[in-house]
């Protein structure tokens, strides 16, 4: 319900920026906001197609491109060979990906803040850490 309301708000903002609010775009926005996880373009396409079967995957990519440009969506490469997308409003966090079982654990941002600080001080580099993917082995698989 909240997701739908949000997507309506985004829709309005959309129109005010001079973009057309098509059913395809609405469905893509809804799919993004209803997903808990980070989803791929194909995932979005599948969800959209459930309601509106002839929507083409290229429309999904073009809409994601647009949303990315507007800063409404973050694109992440979680190492699976395909990009994943996530509403920017849902905040920053990071992913620990287990190389053995494939599960991903989301972590808070805090463990990464000191790293960010160090990189800034020692290298003058302002890290843009919004979604970092780190590979390794999770607690269960290490037992």
* Per CB under 7 A, 55 contacts DNA: yes
> Which residue's entry shows tokens 């599948």?
46
Query: Binding pattern to a copy of itself, positions 37-76, x when CB under 8 A?
Result: ----------------------------------------
Strand pairing partners for 77?
A: 83
Q: Segment near a copy of itself (CB under 8 A), from 16-24, 32-40, 45-53, 129-137?
A: 129-137
Residue 31 token pair? 């799919």
Compute the distance between CA of residue 84 and CA of residue 127 in angstroms, rounded to an integer.
20
Compute the distance between CA of residue 110 and CA of residue 47 in angstroms, rounded to an integer.
33
Q: Which helix (H) or strand (E) holds 40?
A: strand 39-40
Query: With CB cut-offs between 5 and 8 Å by kind, which of a copy of itself, DNA, none does residue 111 bind?
Result: a copy of itself
Interacting residues with a copy of itself (CB under 8 A): 77, 79, 96, 98-99, 105, 107, 111-112, 114-115, 118-119, 122-129, 132, 134-139, 142
């Amino acid at each position: 319900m909240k997701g739908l309301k949000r997507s309506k708000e985004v829709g309005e903002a959309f129109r005010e920026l001079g973009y057309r609010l098509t059913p395809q775009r609405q469905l893509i926005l809804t799919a993004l906001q209803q997903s808990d996880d980070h989803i791929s373009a194909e995932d979005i396409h599948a969800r959209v197609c459930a309601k509106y079967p002839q929507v083409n995957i290229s429309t999904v990519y073009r809409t994601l491109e647009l949303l990315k440009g507007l800063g409404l969506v973050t694109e992440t490469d979680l190492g699976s060979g395909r990009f994943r997308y996530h509403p920017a409003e849902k905040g920053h966090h990071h992913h620990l990906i287990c190389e053995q079982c494939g599960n991903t654990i989301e972590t808070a941002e805090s463990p990464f803040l000191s790293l960010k600080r160090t990189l800034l001080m020692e290298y003058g580099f302002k890290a843009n850490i919004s979604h970092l993917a780190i590979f390794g082995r999770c607690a269960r698989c290490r037992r």
